[in-house]
Amino acid sequence: MSKTDTQVFPHLSEILKIIDGALRANSSMAANYAGLLADKLEQEGNREQALRVRERLARAPTGIAHAQDAGRISTGLPIDTESRMHTVDVSHPMVDAVKLYLPSGVDSRIREFLNTVRYYDALQASEAASPLRLLIYGAPGTGKTQTARWIAGELKLPLLTVRCDTLISSLLGQTSKNLRQVFEYVEQRPCVLFLDEFDALGSARGNERDVGELQRVVISLLQNLDALSENTIVVAASNHDQLLDSAIWRRFPFRVPLPLPDFQLRKELWKEMLGKFSSSALDFDLLAEKSEGISGALIEQIVLDSKRTAIFAGATAIDPAELFKRLGLSLALVQRVALPSLEDEICWLRKWERKIFSLRELSRLYSISIRKVSQLTKEEDGEEKRGHS
């Protein structure tokens, strides 16, 4: 990037937020951003300057001084007045603790968003900034929530999660008020606002319940989004893109579809998630091929189940056939094939992947004799070549 305003005058966005706070007589907003400014100065090695900012903060009235560090506070969260429940949840994802595997196209679009956040001031000076609003959409379990956590971790900012489905299901009359509280809270501190299960709001129109009331909620959400300063970071996640109406869609300049993992990504997910529990006998290509159509979340679940089985058996690696068995049975669930009995399971697995599930392997996995397996699958022992229909 060429020599820009930001390089001449670093941390302009923090300073502008501090000025905003002062002008609105919103001392906690000013203090929160001053705290962030001090952190950034310190990270860059300007300890002296950081100290001067912190010294100023220490002189503030105690209430404000305590609120200064958004990274560590969780008090004063907006509360639903009826249920007394917090409407937002604060977490502090650490970038190394959040493992995320994305298709390269998706990864580069997320990084583009991160770069827009990081160079916002410079981009704005060149009139090339967009409001920092990212919408992630895709099937359940593809890693949308995980992506939001990863983004917050990368930016070293707290993640403020609003579960829109819970927000809606809490008393409708309260929702608009709750939303306003949340947005006011967010505007006061450096953070990533995460609107999870966002389709719950978008689907408002098709709902049988009080449609008028729900529409007011959507309108209120849009108004709140519009009132936020453009450099407040908002990430929204939705399972159903078709349920979001164009009014909502328009407000998110960054839109990233998260597809189900493709062959390469499935292979990577299996490898990474199995980690040291991986077995040299495991055919990852076959695993990736046979797991087409399943989400990262399901892969994770199968891996966890198989690891537990290994640990209980005192083994240091998973049993490949056991892993394929869990995968096969999960696929039956995904395809809504009911397998009520063990006999049904055995026949399903045999039909699904003959290479792995030889009669011998099935006999071992289910602790029954080979003769019994061949009876169940209506195949003769050792006669693996015969076609099975």
Ligand X SMILES: Nc1ncnc2c1ncn2[C@@H]1O[C@H](COP(=O)(O)OP(=O)(O)O)[C@@H](O)[C@H]1O
Give the binding site for ligand X (CB under 6 A).
99-102, 140-146, 237, 296-297, 300
**Cα distance from N-terminal residue to C-terminal residue, the chain:** 63
Residue 99 interacting partner from Mg ion, ligand X, none (CB closer than 5 to 8 Å by kind):
ligand X
Shortest CB 157 distance to Mg ion, Å? 19
Shortest CB 278 distance to ligand X, Å? 17
DSSP 198-236: THHHHGGGG-SS-HHHHHHHHHHHHHHHHHS-TTSEEEE
Instruction: Select 142 or 224, whichever has its Cβ closest to Mg ion.
Output: 142
Phi, psi of 102 (to 5 degrees): -125, 155
Instruction: Select 294 or 349, whichever has its Cβ closest to ligand X.
Output: 294
DSSP 106-131: HHHHHHHHHHHHHTHHHHHHTT----
Shortest CB 322 distance to ligand X, Å? 21
Instruction: Select 21 or 296, whichever has its Cβ closest to ligand X.
Output: 296
Q: Tokens representing 316? A: 């240091």
Instruction: Select 93 or 141, whichever has its Cβ closest to ligand X.
Output: 141
Shortest CB 148 distance to Mg ion, Å? 8
Shortest CB 184 distance to ligand X, Å? 26
Instruction: Select 180 or 267, whichever has its Cβ closest to ligand X.
Output: 267
Shortest CB 240 distance to Mg ion, Å? 12
The alpha carbons of the chain give a radius of gyration, in whole angstroms, of 26
- What are the CA-CA distances from residue 355 to residues 100, 283, 286, 358 (Å)? 32, 11, 10, 6
DSSP 150-184: HHHHHHT--EEEEEHHHHHHS-HHHHHHHHHHHHH
Q: Tokens representing 309? A: 């089985």
- What are the CA-CA distances from residue 31 to residues 56, 59, 63 (Å)? 10, 11, 10
- What does the alpha-carbon distance between residue 213 and residue 221 come to, in Å, rounded to a whole number? 13
Instruction: Select 78 or 296, whichever has its Cβ closest to ligand X.
Output: 296
Shortest CB 363 distance to ligand X, Å? 34
- What does the alpha-carbon distance between residue 194 and residue 189 come to, in Å, rounded to a whole number? 14
Tell me which DSSP letter residue 79 carries: B
Shortest CB 196 distance to Mg ion, Å? 6
Nearest residue to ligand X on Cβ basis: 296
Strands 233-238 and 192-196: parallel
Shortest CB 349 distance to ligand X, Å? 25
CA 145 to chain centre: 1
Instruction: Select 133 or 144, whichever has its Cβ closest to Mg ion.
Output: 144
Residues in touch with Mg ion (CB under 5 A): 144-145
Identity of the amino acid at 156: K
- What does the alpha-carbon distance between residue 222 and residue 179 come to, in Å, rounded to a whole number? 10
The contacts of residue 11 (CB under 8 Å, 6+ apart) are 37, 40, 41
Instruction: Select 46 or 330, whichever has its Cβ closest to ligand X.
Output: 330
Instruction: Select 213 or 305, whichever has its Cβ closest to ligand X.
Output: 305
Nearest residue to Mg ion on Cβ basis: 145
Residue 6 interacting partner from ligand X, Mg ion, none (CB closer than 5 to 8 Å by kind):
none
Residue 300 interacting partner from ligand X, Mg ion, none (CB closer than 5 to 8 Å by kind):
ligand X
8 Å CB contact between 164 and 197: yes
